Structure formats: C-alpha cells, structure tokens
Amino acid sequence: MPELWHEIEISPAFHDLDPMDIVWHGHYVKYLELARNALMARFDYDYPQMRESGYAWPIVDMRLKYVDMLPYGRRVIVRAEIVEWENRIKVEYVIRDAVTAKVIHKAHTIQVALNIATREMEYVCPSVLWQKLGVSSA
C-alpha cells in the first residue's frame, strides 16, 4: 500500500491576517488546497492530469475545525492524506505548528468524479485514479 499523504510547510503572509492580527478563517481553505495539490502532484494526478483523463473532481463537502489561532509568521506543517478512494476522494488534513507539533486545525474534503464530456457524476471512482495512486478498488 503506497503512502497516500504529503506534507508542506508554510508561513502565513501578512496579507492573510484579519484585523485581530491572526490568519482570517477563510485562508485555511487556501492552505488545504496547497497541500492537496502537492499530494495529487506527487501521484501525477493534479488538476491538469485530471482534466486530461476526462474527469473533473469538484469538492462537494468540506468540514473545518479551528483548534487554535494562527498568527503571522508562525511556521506550520499542513498534512493531507487520502483516506477514501473507491466512490469518492476523501482527504483529511491536519495543520500543526512546525516547532511544537501542536494541532492548530483539522479538516476534510470530499471530491467526486465528474465526467467532463457528459457532465454526469460518477458513483465509482474511475480506474485512472486507482492506477495513479497505486491502489485497488477493494
């Protein structure tokens, strides 16, 4: 079984702050996207390759849990891990302080395969996903 996770390190930029000098809650979604893109690129199935394979993968559900605040300049590790791939892609995320490993944020996203030609949702992930991830459907 391949390791279906990837981590990136980021440090929030000044322009990500809200008037209280902490990262505005909406920017966490951007950090998750950066980690998910890096994860999928690791398997050569980032958005351009998805499109080339005939599928779009819209996010249909996103859950966010804010555990601690994130101030300017605090280095964090964003971990993205694929935990489901048979009927949908479910990615779980954890954002941790890069120094202390304290959890700052938890989240998950769910994406479904959408056939670009027909604009119909697939109820089983296409085999190209399993091939790219190096996993089986069962």
Amino acid identity for residue 133 in this structure: L
137 pLDDT above the threshold of 70: no
pLDDT bucket at 129, cuts 50 / 70 / 90: very high
104-to-68, 69, 74, 132, 136 alpha-carbon distances in Å = 5, 7, 11, 31, 33
Task: Say what the pTM is.
Answer: 0.93
Q: How far apart are CA 57 and CA 122, in angstroms?
A: 10
